[in-house]
């Protein structure tokens, strides 16, 4: 499916996006609150728990988060949605992909998902990166209220997309 891409320069359309996959996840916040009550931030149990699905950047960010439950739920839901967007026989195990991706805010505060290709390479999934993820990106939307948090991910190939920085580039010597 090709979707017109509304990035305009003057009156010229710059390209199209191809939707490769979509995913969504819904988290019940009271469950996360209870989980974190049993594993408070800074404890060994919390470190083991976070290490199962968080990238190092997210683990560092979790320690300073104002709302731990919302932070953890947002990371979890984003990764569950991402996994659903790229699901297939050739996808690495969910935990591997979760640790190789991280949620962060862009310059204006919008949530984004980045892929750490080096993590996929270290886990032995470079082929998945090369064939399914290189040159693509993930559009992420997160919404929440008191009891629920939802994340929606759209995996797109965009002919005008250029990796924002070195996070999405890898050399053979990495």
CATH number assigned to the domain covering 17-172: 3.90.470.20
Match 């939707």 to its residue by tokens. Answer: 19
Q: What is the mean pLDDT of each run of 10 residues along the chain (174 residues)?
A: 42 72 98 94 88 91 86 96 91 92 93 93 92 93 97 89 48 39
pLDDT number for residue 77: 98
pLDDT number for residue 101: 95
Per-domain residue ranges of the chain: 17-172
CB 57 within 8 A of CB 49: no
CB 62 within 8 A of CB 54: yes
CB 77 within 8 A of CB 118: no
Reading the block at residue 99, the tokens are 């640790």
Tell me whether residue 64 is exposed, middle or buried, using C-beta atoms within 10 angstroms of its C-beta: 0 to 12, 13 to 18, 19 or more: exposed
pLDDT number for residue 63: 76
Reading the block at residue 143, the tokens are 């919404």
pLDDT number for residue 161: 57
pTM, to two decimals? 0.80
pLDDT number for residue 160: 63
**Sign of the CA dihedral running 24, 101, 38, 69:** negative
pLDDT number for residue 88: 84
């Amino acid at each position: 499916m090709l979707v017109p891409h509304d990035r305009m320069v003057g009156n010229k359309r710059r390209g199209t996006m191809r939707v490769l996959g979509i995913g969504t996840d819904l988290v019940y916040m009271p469950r996360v609150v209870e989980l974190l009550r049993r594993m408070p931030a800074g404890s060994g149990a919390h470190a083991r728990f976070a290490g199962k699905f968080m990238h190092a950047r997210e683990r560092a960010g979790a320690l300073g988060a104002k709302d731990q439950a919302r932070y953890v739920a947002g990371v979890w839901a984003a990764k569950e949605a991402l996994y659903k967007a790229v699901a297939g026989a050739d996808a690495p195990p969910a935990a591997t992909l979760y640790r190789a991706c991280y949620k962060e805010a862009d310059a204006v505060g919008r949530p984004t998902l980045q892929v750490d290709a080096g993590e996929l390479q270290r886990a032995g999934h470079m082929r998945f990166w090369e064939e399914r993820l290189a040159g693509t990106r993930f559009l992420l939307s997160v919404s929440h209220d008191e009891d629920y948090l939802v994340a929606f991910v759209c995996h797109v190939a965009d002919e005008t997309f250029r990796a924002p920085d070195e996070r999405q580039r890898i050399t053979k010597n990495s």
